[in-house]
Structure 1
Amino acid sequence: MKIAVLLSAGLHPVSGAPVLPRLEAQAIRMAAGLGDVGGEVVGLHAGPDAAAVAEALGQGLDRIEHVAVAAGDDPVPALAARLAEIAPDIVLAGRRSQGGEESGLVPYALARALSLPLVSDVVAAAAEPDGTLRFDQSLGRGALRRVLVRGSVVVTCHPDAPAPLAYAYGRARRGSVAALAAAPVAGRATVDTAVEERPYRRRPKIVKGAPAGGSAAERLKAATGESGAAASGRLLIQPDPEDAAREILAYLRQIGVLAAPPAPKT
């Protein structure tokens, strides 16, 4: 099994120093778990310099391939060309970079360029004995979905995935960075990246459920959450456990979390 981990030049949010994004370090750990069953794991970075991703060698990678791309150029064509050459079974990436151009579109652009399926927000991955890849995809609020894929796939790592491996200085010294020349892309169009910068302006918070044309007291209740379903509950001070449980069940049925109790049989 061949596994490629996409690496980006991240920046520390406070100091601005080059740093490996945490999501990509988590993707390296996920790749290491898949590589333990028999496979080759390699990091892939496209950019002007590989120093920003050298930290990944101490996080679990043995080899990094650096495709030279000029600063400001789109890295997707160079990454797609190299991935087409090595044909990995899994392409792992973070959801977005850190501190730089955090568009989060690179995995999707690569999946489209390589005609591969993409599974986003993966928290766990495993390989079945028959070659099928099993992924647990986060759906938010603790919900997970089991996804089975046969064939090559692009995967993005979720923040709830296992924490990165501890940095090992000896492993970083033993690792290697291979410099590769980017293949020229015919007919590459230049993209105008000029943007307009404006100072941040806080926008007023929209109050949901505020009555139109209501009084000031009604609008205040809507803003503080004292209206609606919550306002219809009872205030119990040091109640008996049975009374408190009964009131909680009644409220959960009122807001639709629990079904109404079945009608007694006659």
Structure 2
Amino acid sequence: MKTIVLLSDARNPVSGRQQLSRLEAQAIGLAAGLCEKPRGLHAGSGEDGVSAGLGHGLAGLDIIDLPATDDPLPALAGFIAKAMGGAGAPELILCGRRGEGGEETGLVPYRLAETLGLPILADAVAIRAGEIAGTLVVDQAMAKGARRRVTIKLPAIVTVHSLAPPPMPFAFGRMRRGEIRHHEPLERLGLPDTAARSDASAEERPHRARPKLMRQSGTASGGPNLHVGPEPDEAARLILDYLEANGIRRYGSS
């Protein structure tokens, strides 16, 4: 299963120096269990920090040279779209669930999935190939320590949770043997970047606080408010009891 691990411009919170994100190092460990030669992909201004991924299990690293202030999404989307159109196309794209540079929004995996038209699954703690060809079985972290097993169709994007297995031990020799390739963004090469989505029509709005979801008892792993397969009349009664208990007495009334 050909796998790519996205690497971000992570920074040490004290010194500010570039470093490899721990979540992405954990993603490399998961990738190594699926792919003999997983590769890393980074869009940014250098290889400092991300090159440590070679020592944690990457066979190679592709770097798209961009100024630090540029949006990495168009370059990443264009590179992956071009790779998916050729031989040996990547089947799985792994990344951390959040960046460690201080100003990341955590939306790059989701915007990338939208741009490329790929499914995305968040918070993986374990991954294995499915019994059916072209599928992936993912153990997904849920609230309060619960787990959910999900089967998804490939190709796909998966983000890795901090409860995934720890990174593989760093090996300096493995880092020295790793291959690093630098690339220019597609637009600099004069090629149309059809995968990049323009955000020219984006609109800025003031922040508006959203109501929080309030939950009493019961979780995804079971509890007093979890009922599996009730009869319709019983389900309706349970819903009305819940609304009454939460003070929503006139729910649905005119």
Q: TM-score normalized by structure 2?
A: 0.71
> What is the identity, as a one-letter code, of the residue corresponding to 1:124?
A
Say which SS state the counterpart of residue 127 (structure 2) adopts. strand
Which whole-Å CA distance do the structure 1 matches of 2:68 and 2:224 have between them?
54
Report the alpha carbon displacement of residue 90 of structure 1 after superposing the two structures with TM: 0.5
Contact 1:68 1:181 in 2 (8 A): yes
Does the C-alpha gap of structure 1 residues 191 and 56 become closer, same or farther in structure 2, counting only changes over 3 Å?
A: farther
Structure 1 partner of 2:8: 8
* Unaligned residue ranges in structure 1 (runs of 5+): 193-254, 258-266
Identify the match of residue 49 of structure 1 among 46, 50, 59. Answer: 46
Identify the match of residue 61 of structure 1 among 49, 58, 63. Answer: 58
Report the alpha carbon displacement of residue 71 of structure 1 after superposing the two structures with TM: 2.1
Select the structure of larger CA radius of gyration: 1
Does the C-alpha gap of structure 1 residues 52 and 91 become closer, same or farther in structure 2, counting only changes over 3 Å?
A: same
Structure 2 partner of 1:92: 94
Structure 1 partner of 2:115: 113
1:225-244 mapped onto 2 (5 Å cutoff): none
Report the alpha carbon displacement of residue 49 of structure 1 after superposing the two structures with TM: 1.2
> What is the identity, as a one-letter code, of the residue corresponding to 1:31?
A
Which whole-Å CA distance do the structure 1 matches of 2:4 and 2:102 have between them?
22
Which whole-Å CA distance do the structure 2 matches of 1:189 and 1:70 have between them?
19
Say which SS state the counterpart of residue 102 (structure 1) adopts. coil
Contact 1:9 1:100 in 2 (8 A): no
> What is the identity, as a one-letter code, of the residue corresponding to 2:103?
E
Structure 2 partner of 1:32: 32
Which whole-Å CA distance do the structure 2 matches of 1:83 and 1:74 have between them?
15
Which whole-Å CA distance do the structure 2 matches of 1:101 and 1:59 have between them?
25
Moved segments of 4+, more than 4 Å: 185-192
Contact 1:44 1:64 in 2 (8 A): yes
Q: In the TM superposition, what whole-angstrom CA distance separates every residue of 1:62-98 from its partner, at most 9, and x where no partner exists?
A: 1000011122111001000111122211100001111
Q: In the TM superposition, what whole-angstrom CA distance separates every residue of 1:14-48 from its partner, at most 9, and x where no partner exists?
A: 22221101000000000001115xxx411000012
Say which SS state the counterpart of residue 49 (structure 2) adopts. helix
- Percent of aligned positions that are identical: 44
Which whole-Å CA distance do the structure 2 matches of 1:190 and 1:100 have between them?
25
Q: CA RMSD in A?
A: 2.6
Count matched residues: 195
Which whole-Å CA distance do the structure 1 matches of 2:101 and 2:175 have between them?
23
Q: In the TM superposition, what whole-angstrom CA distance separates every residue of 1:161-186 from its partner, at most 9, and x where no partner exists?
A: 00001110000000121001101158
1:148 and 2:151 aligned:
yes
1:124 and 2:121 aligned:
no
Structure 1 partner of 2:164: 161
Which whole-Å CA distance do the structure 2 matches of 1:18 and 1:93 have between them?
17
Q: TM-score normalized by structure 1?
A: 0.68
Deviating more after overlay: 151-160 vs 8-17: 8-17
Which whole-Å CA distance do the structure 1 matches of 2:201 and 2:103 have between them?
14
